[in-house]
């Protein structure tokens, strides 16, 4: 439950999340096209008009423009403010679950990247190497302080609760299982899902990896079945798997421990 003392930092992190959501829109649009992330400045894709300061404010800019370019009247997709809003909510949720701890930064980084990867996979059916590689590099930096206490004095707040060996086991388990499925399915599972699951495993550890795989396949199976029943999908059609793995990771991050405790209580 939200305490009064959490309102102000939660609101600030929501606003910060809106800004990161705006940057995420840039990543999702430009990375698949292999465009620079900094040049040219944000502009209308139809007429090329450079966006002004007011138009660049997350969500507010969309409302200010009434969803259309002021110059040519081209419609601006509703997905842009929705991504900003969802990223803001994501930042706030992780804070409410973990506080302003190291885990907040770890899981915010992971889920931010997964949100972008899921959107790119939905639209372009690719998992960008640059996003996976960046995630692994940042993840390694998060774990480094835990490897240094014997060499340098490191504040306890900078040491992850998860052991580095657990992260490695999670990475190899996640990537390894997806590799086996990829080989067995003869291309039915995308190669990008191998590196994506390795990234997720590195952040959530061995037990978290098992849960993410279970939830991911469950979400994918239910969605695929629903699409086939409604005639939107046939058995020969493939669904992008990154969105399901990303949703499963969100469930693991927010409620994984509670689900595990509930499961073990049944044994």
* pTM to 2 decimal places: 0.92
Structural domain of 30: 1-100
In the 3-class helix/strand/coil scheme, how is 168-222 assigned residue by residue? HHHHHHHHHHHHHHHHHHCCCCCCHHHHHHHHHHHHHHHHHHHHHHHHHHHHHHH
Identify the pLDDT of residue 209. Answer: 97
**Distances 110 to 88, 106, 136, 159, 236 between C-alpha atoms, Å:** 15, 6, 9, 17, 32
How many structural domains compose the chain? 2
- Co-location of 143 and 197 in the same domain: yes
> Which pLDDT tens digit goes with each residue over 196-221?
999 999 999 999 999 999 999 999 99
- Co-location of 109 and 73 in the same domain: no
**Chosen domain end from 79, 100, 121:** 100
First to last CA, the chain: 30
- Co-location of 245 and 140 in the same domain: yes
The least confident of 25-34, 59-68, 88-97, 130-139 is 59-68
DSSP 8-class letter at 51: P
Identify the pLDDT of residue 43. Answer: 79
- The residue with greater pLDDT, 139 or 39, is 139
- Co-location of 128 and 17 in the same domain: no
Residue 241 CB-density burial (10 A; 0-12 exposed, 13-18 middle, 19+ buried): buried
């Amino acid at each position: 439950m939200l305490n009064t003392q959490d309102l102000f930092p939660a609101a600030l992190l929501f606003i910060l999340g809106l800004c990161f959501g705006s940057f995420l829109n840039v990543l999702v649009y430009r990375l698949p096209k292999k465009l620079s992330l900094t040049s040219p400045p944000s502009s209308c894709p139809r007429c090329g008009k450079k966006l002004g300061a007011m138009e660049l404010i997350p969500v507010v800019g969309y409302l200010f423009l009434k969803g259309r370019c002021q110059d040519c009247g081209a419609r601006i997709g509703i997905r842009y403010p929705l991504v900003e809003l969802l990223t803001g909510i994501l930042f706030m949720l992780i804070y409410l679950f973990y506080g302003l701890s190291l885990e907040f930064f770890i899981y915010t980084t992971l889920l931010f990247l997964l949100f972008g990867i899921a959107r790119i996979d939905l639209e372009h059916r690719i998992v960008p190497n640059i996003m996976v590689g960046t995630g692994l590099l940042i993840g390694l930096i998060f774990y480094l302080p835990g490897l240094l206490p014997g060499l340098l004095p490191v504040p306890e707040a900078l040491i992850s609760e998860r052991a580095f060996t657990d992260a490695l086991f999670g990475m190899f388990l996640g990537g390894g299982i997806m590799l086996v499925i990829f080989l067995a399915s003869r291309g039915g599972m995308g190669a990008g899902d191998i590196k994506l699951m390795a990234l997720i495993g590195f952040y959530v550890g061995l037990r978290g990896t098992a849960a993410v795989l279970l939830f991911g396949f469950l979400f994918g199976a239910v969605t695929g079945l629903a699409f086939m029943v409604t005639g939107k999908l046939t058995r020969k059609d493939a669904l992008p798997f990154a969105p399901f793995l990303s949703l499963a990771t969100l469930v693991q991050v927010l409620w994984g421990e509670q689900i595990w405790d509930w499961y073990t209580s049944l044994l």
